[in-house]
């Protein structure tokens, strides 16, 4: 028996706001969460001028870390705890969670190594700070602290497939729940790496924009004058479960996970194949598993990084899959507003898609003022738009040719 998979709760930490309500308001208003980092996070001569950074002081208080010194806690832990607590806020304590599938980039960074070298490894040093799965431990600990289940180790799964991670966590849970392996699963991702060494890594890859513009104008997906993405941060946690379990406990269903497609083209570290074939296959697989026709898609949440190559290839793949119908589908990129939080990006965008389905409204691609002849679809320029939505497609394409696409449907 195949079970229908639904989403019943979510929590979010983002450059547009650290509650679902604030995020929704600023997203539809077309605001930007990109800030200047010079003279603050980095020096005046640093080559990268801006980022979609989330300050520790901006984060809501966490019940789990309420007695701790915030400065001694990894920011990814704080963000994960806040997003998880939001997600679990209205869920009864006797609700059993069977699995956690979470995207994380925790682990050793230059800043963490520097801290250790300067301070030494005292007896009370928390060695989990070096563990790439540490945010999953936090998520599971928050569950336990609320009197909910302690998920067994074999069902706590860490994902790091770069920019495709969020959608892959949703896709893996979709497969596990629909086949009856799990009844409920927490999914999502966190990325809190807006730090100098990480900025430099992407700068040296030629992926970041460094144009001399105001920060809120830096991310320009699909526009002819785009020149790279803006590094961002964020976290999102979502509750996925069978429709039967949601109905049984009287939970409000926020959306249906209808289909999932995942491919790898193993081409180059940062580039996709020129023909877009693996991207097309991921989109087509998502539509096929959803059991819907191409013309049923009402909106596409684009990966839309604002790099010259990605936006051109994504546009090409959409046109090849949807044919002439591609020009009738609104396509927008949330990264124009919140930058690119890599590991967390498509988990945050999943929350955005659910909000759009509930509100029957799509968010804009801001900073779209100079059309590109090679990117000639309807990118919902600069202002949000009321659209009748039943099925939406969310794309995520990671470094190394990792492609993951999800179809979300209205309840």
Q: Among all residues, which ones are annotated catalytic?
A: 163, 303, 340
All residues at 6 or more sequence positions from 303 whose CB lies less than 8 Å from its CB, including other chains: 163, 310, 314, 333, 335, 346, 395, 396, 397
Q: Which helix (H) or strand (E) holds 79?
A: helix 75-88
Closest CA to 279 of 380, 383, 403: 403
Closest CA to 129 of 77, 83, 198, 79: 77
Q: Please check whether residue 352 is in contact with residue 255, taking contact to mean a CB–CB distance below 8 angstroms.
A: no
Q: Please check whether residue 47 is in contact with residue 203, taking contact to mean a CB–CB distance below 8 angstroms.
A: yes
Find where tokens 């966590």 sit: 169
Find where tokens 């997600």 sit: 87
Q: Could you tell me the end-to-end alpha-carbon distance of the chain, in angstroms, rounded to an integer?
A: 21
Distance from chain centroid for Cα 173? 15
All residues at 6 or more sequence positions from 12 whose CB lies less than 8 Å from its CB, including other chains: 18, 19, 20, 23, 83, 86, 234, 235, 236, 348, 351
Which ranges constitute the DSSP H helices of 294-334?
A: 308-322
Q: What phi and psi, each to the nearest 5 degrees, are found at residue 356? A: -60, -40
List, in sequence order, every residue forming a beta bridge with 241; answer none if it has no partner. Answer: 6, 184
Reported in sequence order, the residue ranges of 213-347 that DSSP labels E, i.e. its strands, are 234-242, 255-264, 297-301, 331-332
Using the 8-state DSSP alphabet, how is residue 330 labeled?
Answer: B
Residue 108 CA to residue 247 CA, distance in Å, equals: 43
Using the 8-state DSSP alphabet, how is residue 100 labeled?
Answer: E
């Amino acid at each position: 028996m195949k079970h229908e998979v639904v989403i019943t709760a979510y929590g979010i930490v983002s450059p547009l706001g650290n509650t679902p309500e604030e995020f929704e308001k600023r997203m539809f208003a077309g605001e930007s969460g990109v800030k200047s980092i010079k003279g603050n996070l980095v020096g005046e001569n640093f080559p990268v001028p801006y980022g979609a950074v989330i300050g520790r002081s901006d984060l809501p208080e966490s019940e789990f870390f309420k007695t701790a010194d915030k400065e001694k806690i990894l920011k990814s832990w704080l963000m994960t705890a806040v997003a998880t607590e939001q997600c679990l806020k209205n869920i009864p304590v006797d609700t059993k969670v069977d699995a956690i599938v979470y995207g994380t980039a925790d682990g050793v960074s230059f800043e963490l190594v520097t801290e250790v070298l300067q301070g030494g490894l005292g007896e009370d040093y928390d060695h989990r700070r070096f563990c790439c799965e540490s945010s999953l431990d936090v998520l599971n600990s928050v569950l336990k602290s609320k009197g909910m289940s302690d998920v067994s180790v074999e069902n706590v799964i860490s994902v790091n497939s770069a920019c495709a991670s969020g959608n892959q966590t949703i896709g893996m849970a979709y497969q596990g729940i629909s086949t009856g392996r799990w009844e409920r699963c927490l999914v999502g991702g966190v990325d809190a790496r807006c730090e100098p060494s990480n900025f430099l890594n992407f700068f040296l890859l030629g992926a970041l924009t460094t144009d001399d513009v105001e920060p809120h104008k830096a991310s320009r997906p699909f526009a002819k004058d785009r020149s790279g993405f803006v590094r961002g941060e964020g976290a999102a946690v979502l509750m996925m479960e069978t429709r039967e379990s949601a109905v049984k406990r009287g939970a409000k269903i926020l959306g249906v996970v209808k289909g999932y497609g995942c491919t790898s083209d193993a081409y180059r570290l940062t580039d996709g194949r020129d023909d877009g074939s693996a991207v097309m296959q991921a989109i087509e697989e998502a539509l096929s598993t959803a059991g819907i026709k191409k013309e049923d898609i009402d909106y596409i949440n684009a990966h839309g990084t604002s790099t010259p190559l990605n936006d051109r290839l994504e546009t090409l793949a959409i046109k090849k899959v949807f044919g002439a119908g591609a020009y009738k589908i609104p396509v927008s990129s949330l990264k124009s507003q919140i930058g690119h939080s890599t590991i967390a990006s498509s988990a945050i965008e999943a929350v955005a898609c659910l909000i759009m389905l509930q509100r029957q409204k799509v968010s804009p691609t801001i900073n779209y003022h100079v059309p590109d002849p090679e990117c000639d679809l309807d990118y919902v320029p600069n202002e949000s738009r009321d659209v009748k939505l039943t099925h939406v497609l969310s794309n995520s394409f990671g470094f190394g040719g990792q492609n993951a696409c999800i179809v979300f449907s209205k309840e």
